[in-house]
Copies of this chain bind each other. A is one copy, B any other.
């Protein structure tokens, strides 16, 4: 199996980076190959904008989806987008490693999706969901949050992770990925922010890295999440059971 990790944290000494390296090592130890895209390290520009398109279909009015399709057809996609697509194409498993910021991914990761999932190239009206470009590949979110585990759940203070991660999960499903249950690392606190003693925190963080190593090495066989697909919708895109 070949795994590719999309890493979205600004600090190499962070716990997110430790999780990324743990996955690299654990996957390599069981014989898999691993590549990474360190979005901060790459200086990836997450802002989809006209300046990325050197030969515009319409120089007078910028429509992102139309220019993506045009650049795909003409072979003029920006290099940093083309390289990301090549890395995804080689992977059986794609892991997204990021901290939860404002109930979602950091902007650098959101914009990676805005730019890399190219309209007209990696998806069309017929090539999406179960017929998506990346069908047969698996995707997995590894998310850190500062709040403790008990803060989360439906109606709870921190909110419910199923809802919180739905936009990301459903976007991966749209692209054809089989989506694994996310791995959440709770209570990841910087110095002076901790809910617990330093010894307890250190032990818990170390234990969590071991759990993550075990989880990620089983990613090829774990049961995937279920999302609605073509067979579940009528000709008006509505859920069949609701009709």
A207 at the interface (CB under 8 A from B): no
Question: Which 7 A-B residue pairs are closest in the complex by CB-CB distance?
Answer: A107-B111, A155-B239, A103-B167, A157-B237, A46-B107, A63-B190, A151-B237
- Give CA–CA (A150, B243) in the complex, Å: 12
A136 at the interface (CB under 8 A from B): no
Given A63-B191, A104-B167, A164-B167, 10 more A-B residue pairs with CB atoms under 8 Å apart are A14-B62, A64-B101, A65-B193, A104-B104, A107-B108, A150-B236, A154-B239, A155-B232, A156-B242, A158-B237
Closest B residue to A236 by CB, please name it: B150
**Which single member of B62, B107, B167 contacts A10 (CB below 8 Å)?**
B62
The majority secondary structure among interface residues of chain A is loop
Sample 27 A-B pairs with CB under 8 A, ordered by A number. A10-B50, A10-B64, A11-B50, A11-B61, A13-B60, A14-B61, A14-B63, A40-B47, A46-B107, A47-B108, A58-B191, A63-B190, A101-B113, A102-B114, A103-B166, A103-B167, A107-B107, A107-B108, A107-B110, A153-B238, A155-B238, A155-B241, A156-B239, A157-B228, A157-B237, A158-B237, A164-B167
Chain A count of residues within 8 A CB distance of the other chain: 64
**Which single member of B102, B153, B191 contacts A117 (CB below 8 Å)?**
B102
Contacts A10-B64, A237-B150 known; A48 to B156 CB distance under 8 Å? Answer: no
Give the residues from 217 to 236 in chain A that come closer than 8 angstroms, CB to CB, to chain B. Answer: 228, 232-233, 236
Chain A positions within 8 Å of B, measured between CB atoms, are 10-11, 13-14, 40, 46-50, 58, 60-66, 101-108, 110-111, 113-114, 117, 129, 146-148, 150-151, 153-159, 163-164, 166-168, 170-171, 190-193, 228, 232-233, 236-239, 241-242
